[in-house]
Amino acid sequence: MRALSILGSTGSIGLSTLDVIRQHPDRFKIVGLAEGHDVNMLAEQIREFNPAIVSVRDAESAEQLKTLLGADQPEICHGIEGAGTVASAEGADMVVSAIVGAAGLTPTVKAIKAGKDIALANKETLVVAGQLVSDLVKKHNVTLLPVDSEHSAIFQSLQGHRQEDVERIILTASGGPFRNSSFADMEKAGPEQALKHPQWSMGAKITIDSASMMNKGLEVIEAHWLFNMPAEKIGVVVHPQSIIHSMVEYVDGCVIAQLGAPDMRAPIAYALSWPERCESGIKKLDLATIGTLTFEEPDMDRFPALRLAFEALKAGRTYPAVLNAANEVAVAAFLNRKIGFTAIAETVDKTMQAHEAYTPVELEEYINADGWARRAANAIIG
């Protein structure tokens, strides 16, 4: 029986995780849940899964949850400290880190320091503080398993092979809703168009990142830390059908790919049950029905966010943290109709140009870089 805490239980990854757990009550149990947006849904999850501890966004939400639950309630925490308490809860073997954005960094670090294995769906943790997190994983001897479908595919395609035999890893991208759109059309696009992803059902922030291809850029940086690969050995190819989730090319010219339906329950189930496998509930793949798989080079002129991510990775130091924070601010501004779609990457670019990078060591230094970038991006947006 594997005992789990889930950070971000009411988001898309959290809901998919609970669906996998629901199918295997004999294999998994819930110790803790943390959410930041939907207290009513969290109350339903508490009634179903009976966690010992939960966390909500703030004190007001905590009082609301207490009222909803009545006398039969777990320990209730709130804020970033509360999420950290859930992440390090006694009795949990693994923490599913699925809080969106840089907000997931601190509780994930706390989980690692508490010796918990990590199923990582929060790519920003490694984007912002990859060196720190990698060092802590080694120091505390925990297992870090990727949940993103692309990184899970690479992880699976590397099994049984030597690191030195890898020529490169190839991340696939759907291309998002604007794959065939001109830059002029994207300049005029609003949130309604950007949120219409052709393949995946995800939260608003990650869907916008997919539309701009910043999501793929963040995944490139995450892949660097997960698999110890330099930027030069990480490729990206647009694959609109989203059937091949990513690939590994070896020195002998052979390529190993992982295929499956575009459903996050599959990589979640693999991370939760590794090194075994368990039923995920996804639709079985029928290649004859799919018929054709196509591939394209990404256009970094129309999608400059991907280029900026590669630049941030190569420059290192605090640039990845600044890239991520500026993007979070710009995406929020776009969703609130304060800027246009193409201004997201423009804001990130200007913020990076204004940054005086340094080499962070402590968690606080990474957080400071994140905070600086948010202030700078907000000033640029005006």
Find out whether 315 and 188 touch, Cβ atoms under 8 Å: no
Find out whether 302 and 184 touch, Cβ atoms under 8 Å: no
Could you tell me the pLDDT band of residue 377, with boundaries at 50, 70 and 90? very high
For residue 12, tell me if it sits in a domain.
yes
- Does the pLDDT at position 100 exceed 90? no
Structural domain including 190 reads 151-262+293-304
- Does the pLDDT at position 199 exceed 80? no
Residue 87 token pair: 């992440």
Average pLDDT over residues 12-28: 97
Residue 257 neighbours by CB distance under 10 Å? 19
For residue 278, tell me if it sits in a domain.
no
pTM of this prediction? 0.94
* Single residue among 112, 147, 182 that ends a domain in this structure: 147
Shared domain check, 190 and 110: no
Could you tell me the pLDDT band of residue 203, with boundaries at 50, 70 and 90? confident
CATH number at residue 121: 3.40.50.720
Find out whether 280 and 269 touch, Cβ atoms under 8 Å: yes
- Does the pLDDT at position 202 exceed 90? no
Cα distances (Å, whole numbers) of residue 35 to 46, 125, 197, 296:
12, 17, 24, 38
Shared domain check, 172 and 123: no
Feature table: binding site for Mn(2+): 148, 150, 219
What per-residue confidence (pLDDT) applies to 197? 81
Shared domain check, 347 and 251: no
Angle at 76 between CA 70 and CA 81, to 5 degrees: 160
Feature table: binding site for 1-deoxy-D-xylulose 5-phosphate: 123, 149-150, 174, 197, 210, 215-216, 219
What per-residue confidence (pLDDT) applies to 97? 97
What per-residue confidence (pLDDT) applies to 360? 97
Tell how strand 234-238 and strand 75-78 pair up: unpaired
Q: Is 300 exposed, middle or buried (0-12, 13-18, 19+ CB in 10 A)?
A: middle
Could you tell me the pLDDT band of residue 129, with boundaries at 50, 70 and 90? very high
- 62-70 contacts at long range (C-beta below 8 A, 24 or more positions apart): 64/39, 65/39, 68/39, 68/40, 68/43, 69/43
Please give the full DSSP string across 290-347, using - where no structure is assigned. H-----B---TTT-HHHHHHHHHHHH-TTHHHHHHHHHHHHHHHHHTTSS-STHHHHH
What is the tens place of the pLDDT at every residue in 304-356?
999 999 999 999 999 999 999 999 999 999 999 999 999 999 999 999 999 99
What per-residue confidence (pLDDT) applies to 153? 98
CA distance 146 to 156: 10
Q: Which amino acid is present at 184?
A: A
Average pLDDT over residues 198-223: 91
- Does the pLDDT at position 144 exceed 80? yes
What per-residue confidence (pLDDT) applies to 72? 87
What is the tens place of the pLDDT at every residue in 177-196?
999 999 999 999 999 999 98
In the sheet that 244-250 helps form, which strands lie side by side, from edge to edge?
234-238, 166-173, 244-250, 255-259
Total tally of structural domains belonging to the chain: 3
Feature table: binding site: 10-13, 36, 122-124, 148-150, 174, 197, 203, 210, 215-216, 219
- What are the residues facing 144 on neighbouring strands? 118
What per-residue confidence (pLDDT) applies to 198? 78
What is the tens place of the pLDDT at every residue in 269-311?
999 999 999 999 999 999 999 999 999 999 999 999 999 999 9
Tell how strand 244-250 and strand 255-259 pair up: antiparallel
What is the tens place of the pLDDT at every residue in 245-257?
999 999 999 999 9
Tell how strand 166-173 and strand 53-56 pair up: unpaired
CA distance 307 to 300: 6
Angle between helices 304-315 and 343-354 (to 10 degrees): 20
Average pLDDT over residues 202-214: 92
Q: Is 134 exposed, middle or buried (0-12, 13-18, 19+ CB in 10 A)?
A: middle
The pLDDT mean for the chain works out to 96
Alpha helices in the chain, H assignment, sequence order:
12-23, 39-49, 59-69, 79-87, 105-113, 124-139, 149-158, 183-188, 191-194, 204-212, 214-227, 265-273, 287-290, 304-315, 319-335, 343-354, 363-381
Find out whether 348 and 326 touch, Cβ atoms under 8 Å: yes
Secondary structure (3-state) at 285: coil
Cα distances (Å, whole numbers) of residue 96 to 36, 104, 147, 169, 220:
15, 11, 9, 25, 21
- Does the pLDDT at position 36 exceed 90? no
Shared domain check, 251 and 328: no
Shared domain check, 142 and 6: yes
* Single residue among 147, 167, 193 that ends a domain in this structure: 147
How many C-alpha atoms does 271 have within 13 Å on its Cβ side?
34
For residue 309, tell me if it sits in a domain.
no
- What are the residues facing 76 on neighbouring strands? 54
CATH number at residue 351: 1.10.1740.10
Feature table: binding site for NADPH: 10-13, 36, 122, 124, 203
Shared domain check, 122 and 160: no
- What are the residues facing 349 on neighbouring strands? none
For residue 140, tell me if it sits in a domain.
yes
Shared domain check, 156 and 298: yes
Residue 76 token pair: 């209730």
Q: List the one residue out of 258, 282, 361 whose CA is nearest residue 318.
A: 361
- What is the percent of the chain with per-residue pLDDT over 70, rounded to a whole number? 100
Find out whether 68 and 54 touch, Cβ atoms under 8 Å: no
What is the tens place of the pLDDT at every residue in 53-95?
999 999 999 999 999 999 889 999 999 999 999 999 999 999 9
- Does the pLDDT at position 13 exceed 80? yes
Average pLDDT over residues 21-41: 95
